[in-house]
Amino acid sequence: MDNHMAASWCWSKKIDVNEKYNFFHIDRHYDLLNGSVSDWVGKLRELNFNIVNSTIEEYVNAHYMDNRFNKKTKIFRYDNYITIFAKLFPNLINEKKFATHEDGTVPEDWQQMYQVPFYDLHTNLAYWINETKENWIVNIDLDYFFCDDNNGIRYQIFTDEYIKNIGKEIFKCLGKITVITIALSPSFCNGIDNSKRIANLLLDEITTDNWVI
């Protein structure tokens, strides 16, 4: 996907929402916008929206009328999809690991997450996942591998080898992963062609299938 706005829809198609899962988030940003989460969930309930049974069109178009501006406002966004999902299924996510640039804020009910340092991610990811009882949801945004300068120029800050090593780590623990979502985020990765190149570095290690994005 372009950004992670639809990630929770993808999870709902692969997991059993009555089970517990661990959650691994690899992303430049926390994606944990929380201020209006109760309102968003309330709007979904007013709409009788069921994420498990929804189509992708119903998901991305779920909206409410914002009377302050007299316009339709979409409920799911690239920065609130995790907190909405967790609110819809409060008993679903158990252990939380976040590898980020610490961009954004962490709500109080997410303070128990483990903040993964970059120097451990490419060597210990498989160990962390394989040692647990629950299966995992793995959520990757390729913008994790980039930063920008004061002029808005994006730079790849991790080598191709580092990115490939993360793919190798994921391959070692695929049996414990129920679903993987990958956001290309071309606007943070110097364009869609570069995003595709980075995605293919990962996928070439994660699977033996002939993936070409």
pLDDT at 191 over 80: yes
pLDDT at 110 over 80: yes
Q: What pLDDT digit, counting tens, does each position of 26-45 carry?
A: 999 999 999 899 999 999 99
Domain hosting residue 12, numbered range: 4-32+78-206
Report the sign of the C-alpha dihedral through residues 16, 22, 27, 28, in that order. Answer: positive
- Domain with 195 in it: what CATH number? 3.40.800.10
Considering only residues 1 and 137, tell me which one the structure prediction assigns the higher pLDDT.
137
What's the confidence (pLDDT) of residue 149? 84
Least confident span in 21-35, 115-129, 146-160, 171-185: 146-160
In a domain, 96, yes or no: yes
Average per-residue pLDDT for the chain: 93
Q: How many residues does the chain have?
A: 213
In a domain, 153, yes or no: yes
Q: How many domains does the chain have?
A: 1
pLDDT at 211 over 80: no
pLDDT at 6 over 80: yes
In a domain, 72, yes or no: no
In a domain, 43, yes or no: no
With tokens 């691994």, the residue in question is: 24
pLDDT at 179 over 80: yes
In a domain, 41, yes or no: no
What's the confidence (pLDDT) of residue 117? 97
In a domain, 60, yes or no: no
In a domain, 69, yes or no: no
What's the confidence (pLDDT) of residue 209? 67
Q: How far apart are the first and last CA of the chain?
A: 11
13, two tokens: 């198609």
With tokens 């430049």, the residue in question is: 28
Radius of gyration of the chain from its Cα atoms, rounded to whole angstroms: 17
In a domain, 57, yes or no: no
Query: Minimal CA–CA distance to 141: which of 21, 18, 27, 5?
Result: 27
Distance in angstroms (rounded) separating the CA atoms of residues 26 and 152:
22
Query: Minimal CA–CA distance to 31: which of 79, 72, 93, 87?
Result: 79
